[in-house]
Amino acid sequence: MIRVENLEHLKKLASRVNGDFVDFHILIAGGLARSSKRIQYDPQFDAFCIINEIDESFQEIASNRISSETNLIDAIEKNALFQH
């Protein structure tokens, strides 16, 4: 597992030349549970596509709106977002 250090690190980890989604999870309740997500970053549009595994919901979000529309930045700041 790789802990995501900041937004730029998330962009790097979630960016694939072939456009594949990458598996991530957020540790919840001190690691007793986790929220799984598939994330893809498109540098051309500076946007993320996110699939929330719990309900298969899909989000497409510009990187400048990631903190207002998701909990990813909060998870990064709490050292709780990991790529696996």
Question: So what's the pLDDT on residue 31?
Answer: 82
Number of folded domains that form the chain: 1
Residue 74 above 90 pLDDT?
Answer: yes
Question: So what's the pLDDT on residue 27?
Answer: 97
Question: So what's the pLDDT on residue 3?
Answer: 98
Question: So what's the pLDDT on residue 60?
Answer: 98
Q: For 8-64, how does the pLDDT look when each residue is reduced to its tens digit (9 = 90+)?
A: 999 999 999 899 999 999 999 888 899 999 999 999 999 999 999 999 999 999 999
Question: So what's the pLDDT on residue 30?
Answer: 84
Q: Which domain holds residue 65?
A: 2-83
List, as one string, the DSSP characters of 4-70.
--SHHHHHHHH--TT---EEEEEEEGGGTEEEEEEEEEETTTTEEEEEETTTTEEEEEEGGGHHHH-
